[in-house]
Structure 1
Amino acid sequence: MNKTVASAAEAVADIGDGATLAVGGFGLCGVPAVLIDALVEQGTRNLHVASNNCGVGEMGLGKLLHAHRIARMTASYIGDNREFARQYLAGELEVELIPQGTLAERLRAAGVGIPAFYTPAGGGTLVETGGIPWRYDADGNVVAASPPRPTAEFTVDGVTRTYVLEQAFFADFALVRAIKGDRHGNLVFHRAARNFNPVTAMAGRVTIAEVEELVEVGALDPDEVHLPGVFVHRVLPLTPEQAADKPIEKRTLRS
């Protein structure tokens, strides 16, 4: 039951080329940066990653992106990540853009064993009919696009609408970050850093959590636990220096 590992390198050692990853975080908040750094050092490539976004600059998942280790990205947001946009438009990266709530539910559904679900998000748009560019070639031509989604009509509160069928995202590995964790893998997240981390952890066949503070089993009140250890397979305790390294995406100060 002791799920702790001695190093980040040990934690990610079996993540091979072509693996499918679900990665927690939002912007730079709650990002498993130490595990990502270990993947960069390991040299793993051709990854298919699902996460809200793909890091900021060369931070977070941006390190894997700049090293051209990601082959396909399933995300909700490109935003002002210039390298993400550049690789996508240059045909160097395949990108599946989906609504943010749909991404969260695809991860959660995998965690509870639901292979697919219907959602109203994207109904009547290219999400439903297909044709969203997934990959361009070097000349800007679309060479891969989203397929049409199956649909069905449901009546909710007397209103009949078209719902789109979405498949769960089952990941080979999930990487998350928590503020506290015990040796059994029970995790506590800190405020907004909770974000996508719980559903991300649920989606992984093997889930690896880096924790800022490792506590003994029994130290966490059961009502305090955000994610039970049944979903977590490895726990990496961070050093105080690693735990304190939390870059700010956009710092705004008064003049």
Structure 2
Amino acid sequence: MNKVQGSAAEAVADIPDGASLAVGGFGLSGVPEILIRALHEQGAGGLRVVSNNCGVDGRGLGVLLAAGRIARVTGSYVGENKEFARQYLSGELEVELVPQGTLAERLRAGGAGIPAFYTPAGVGTQVANGGLPWRYATDGTVAVASPPKEIRDFEGRPHVLEHGITTDYALVRAWRGDRHGNLVFRKAAANFNPPAAMAGRMTVAEVEELVEPGELGPDEVHLPGVFVQRVVELTAAQAADKEIERLSISASSTRGTVRA
């Protein structure tokens, strides 16, 4: 039951070329930075990533992207990553853009063993009708477009069929965790980390604070250890290394309140 690994490098050592990965985080909040860096050093390429966004230049998944290690991204936001946009528009990267709530539910459904579900999100758009550019050709034309999806009416309202997502591996970050893999996420890090962890067949969690089994009360646990196979304990310095994607300061605040 002790799922703690000796290092992040050990935890990702068996991820092969072409593997599919569900990666937690939103922007730079709750991103498994240490595992991503270890995977970068490990050298796997041709990765198929499912994540809300692809980090920023030089942080998060942006590290793997800049190294040419990612072949396909399923996400909901291009974000502040200029390299992501460049690779997509130049035809170097295949991208499936999904409505944000739909992406979260596709991950959760996959982890719960639900193969597909209907949602009204995207009805009447290219999300449902097809034609979204997945991959561009070098001349700027669309090389691969999304296919149309099944539409079905429920109580007189059309819904589009979306498929659950499962991946070979999942990389997530938690605030606290125990040796059995039970995890607690803090604030904004509780966004895509739980469903990403559920979707992975082999889930690796980096934890800022490792505790012994029994220290986490049942009501505290956000994700039970049954969904987690490997745990990596971060050092204090690694846990504290958190970058803000975009910093703004309110001019109207007399105390100089910082907002991220």
TM-score (norm 2): 0.95
Name the % identity: 69
Equivalent position of 1:192 in the other structure:
188
1:170 paired with 2:166, answer: yes
2:244 to 245, 248, 251: 248
- Equivalent pairs counted in the alignment come to 251
Can you give the 5+ residue segments of structure 1 that lack an aligned partner in the other structure? none
Q: What is the alpha-carbon distance in structure 2 between the residues aligned to residue 131 and residue 249 of structure 1?
A: 31
Match in the other structure for 2:100: 100
**Displaced runs of 4 or more, over 3 A:** none
Cα offset, 1:177, TM superposition: 0.2
1:213 corresponds in structure 2 to 209
The answer for unaligned runs of 5 or more in structure 2 is 252-260
- SS of equivalent residue, structure 2 residue 49: strand
* 1:79-136 Cα shifts (integer Å, max 9, x gaps): 2321111100000000000100110010000111001111111011111110000001
Residues 1:28 and 2:28 are matched in the alignment? yes
Matching of residues 2-41 of structure 1 within 5 Å:
2-41=2-41
Q: Deviations over 1:157-186 (max 9, x none)?
A: xxx111101111110001100010000000
Equivalent-residue separation in structure 2 for 1:79 and 1:189 (angstroms): 23
CA distance in 2, matches of 1:7, 1:180: 17
Three-state SS of the structure 2 residue aligned to 1:166 is strand
Residue 224 of structure 1, aligned match among 217, 220, 223:
220
Aligned partner of residue 237 in structure 2, secondary structure:
helix
1:78 corresponds to: 78
Q: Secondary structure at the match of 2:219?
A: helix
Answer whether contact 2:21 2:169 (CA < 8 A) is retained. yes
| Kept in 1: contact 2:170–2:196 (CA 8 A) | yes
**Residue identity opposite 2:200 in structure 1:** G
Partner of 1:238: 234
Aligned to 1:54: 54
CA distance in 1, matches of 2:250, 2:97: 35
C-alpha RMSD of the superposition: 0.8
Instruction: Give the counterpart letter for 2:23 in structure 1.
Output: V
Secondary structure of the corresponding residue to residue 39 of structure 1: helix
Code of the residue aligned with 1:169 in structure 2: it is: I
- Deviation digits for residues 167-207 of structure 1, max 9, x if unmatched? 11110001100010000000000111111000110000010
Amino acid at match of 1:151: I
Shift of 1:58: 1.1
User: 2: CA distance between counterparts of 1:56 and 1:91?
Assistant: 19
What letter is aligned with 1:138? T
Offset, 1:254 = 4.8
What is the aligned partner in structure 1 of residue 148 from structure 2?
Answer: 148
Q: Distance in 2 between matches of 1:198 and 1:79?
A: 21
* SS of residue matched to 1:223: coil
- The residue aligned with 2:254 is none
Query: Distance in 2 between the 1:42 and 1:2 partners?
Result: 24
Equivalent position SS for 1:243: helix
